[in-house]
Amino acid sequence: MAPRNIIIDTDPGQDDAVAILLALASPEYVNVLGVVAVAGNVPLDLTQKNARIVCELAGRSDMPVFAGADAPMARRLVTAEHVHGKTGLDGPPLPEPAMALQEQSGVDFIIETLRTEPPGTVTLCPIGPLTNIGIAFAKAPDVVERVQEIVLMGGAYFEVGNITPAAEFNIYVDPEAADIVFRSGVKLTVMPLDVTHKALTSQAWVDDMAALGTETGRMVSAWTDFFERYDMEKYGSTGAPLHDPCVIAYLIKPELFTGRHVNVEVETQSELTRGMTVADWWGVTDRPPNAMFVGGVDRDGFFGLLSERLARL
């Protein structure tokens, strides 16, 4: 089967970095057409720099990296340095990227790619706030029906929120953009905290990464070592939740995941529940299902895939 054409929309972020590495290590499954940075975990000037650092780490300084939106569609930017550190990629010392940022705006790259690639052949993989996708759909409504699928990391239902009691960070930062995406009618697969909180690293796995003896292994072990401390303090869990790599792993091995096709809507009005993803898991409304809402993962299979793939870089 031919590899799937994807655009990764990202706010690196240690877990974003692992997701990008997994994608670039899997060219027989995913063909990354471009990486578009968005403001999220840290401001845009850092997320675009971090995206270039990660592509270079994977030996892909040829990968087109774009800067997208520097603020949500209708709100002030909320960032997450308390989770990811000041650089967004805290943990190891970071190199200065040598590769250039593309001139074209990330939003225009998304629009142009969807207009020039055959309809139904490009999957969007947002793993940060949905601002770039929301703006692209608002600016160029003609591209919506040309999207093959959106596989995103965001939202929460049974797992409740991680930035407020009700909302997961990516959706909370830009609920208006998320609302556009969830109402768009595009085929939607959602990796919420319900599943990503089951994709927890173990010390053995982090040690295995360091034992690879590669720069990738060293960076990934240092990133996941740093990234886990927030969740350990907050949830008392051991291990870092690899939220964003779930999106790429799903494209490579969907059988690792289980979910339910349900209606999901995004709260944009209430300040108390802003950004909550309201999943009609039990079908108690007549709202039409619009998303595959994933809740289960074969954890060993997931980390086995990650180890096998990251060892290739």
Q: How far is the CB of 60 from ligand RIB (least distance, A)?
A: 20
Q: Quick check: 194 binds ligand RIB (CB under 6 A)? A: no
Written as one letter, the residue type at 172 is: Y
Q: How far is the CB of 150 from ligand RIB (least distance, A)?
A: 14
Instruction: Find the binder of Ca ion among 13, 106, 175, 217 (CB under 5 A).
Output: 13
Q: How far is the CB of 255 from ligand RIB (least distance, A)?
A: 23
Written as one letter, the residue type at 273 is: T
Report how far residue 232's alpha carbon sits from residue 238's, in angstroms, rounded to the nearest whole number: 6
Partner interacting with residue 259 (select from ligand RIB, Ca ion, none; CB below 5-8 Å by kind): none
| DSSP bridge partners of 149 | 123
Q: Quick check: 125 binds ligand RIB (CB under 6 A)? A: no
**Which pair of tokens denotes residue 282?**
């039990």
What residues between 152 and 191 interact with ligand RIB by CB under 6 A?
153, 162, 168-170
Partner interacting with residue 256 (select from Ca ion, ligand RIB, none; CB below 5-8 Å by kind): none
CB of 11 or CB of 179, closer to ligand RIB: 11
The DSSP H or E segment spanning 279 is strand 277-279
Distance between terminal CA atoms of the chain? 23
243 is catalytic: yes
User: Given 82, 84, 243, 261, which residue is catalytic?
Assistant: 243
Q: How far is the CB of 287 from Ca ion (least distance, A)?
A: 28
Binding-site size for ligand RIB (CB under 6 A) equals: 15
Report how far residue 138's alpha carbon sits from residue 146's, in angstroms, rounded to the nearest whole number: 14
Q: What are the CA-CA distances from residue 133 to residues 10, 118, 212 (Å)?
A: 11, 19, 36
**Which pair of tokens denotes residue 69?**
């939106």
Answer yes or no: are the C-beta atoms of 11 and 71 closer than 8 Å: no
Binding-site size for Ca ion (CB under 5 A) equals: 6
Q: How far is the CB of 211 from ligand RIB (least distance, A)?
A: 25
Partner interacting with residue 274 (select from Ca ion, ligand RIB, none; CB below 5-8 Å by kind): none
Write the CB contacts of 33 (distance below 8 Å, at least 6 apart in sequence).
Answer: 5, 6, 7, 64, 113, 117, 122
Written as one letter, the residue type at 135 is: I
Q: What is the 3-state secondary structure (H, E, C) of 200-250?
A: ECCHHHHHHHHHCCCHHHHHHHHHHHHHHHHHHHHHCCCCCECCCHHHHHH
What residues between 34 and 73 interact with ligand RIB by CB under 6 A?
40-41
Q: Quick check: 16 binds Ca ion (CB under 5 A)? A: yes
**Which x/- pattern over 8-27 shows residues binding ligand RIB (rule: CB under 6 A)?**
---x-x-xx-----------
Query: Residue numbers of the site for Ca ion (CB under 5 A)?
Result: 11, 13, 16, 127-128, 244
Catalytic residues: 243
Query: Residue numbers of the site for ligand RIB (CB under 6 A)?
Result: 11, 13, 15-16, 40-41, 127-128, 153, 162, 168-170, 243-244
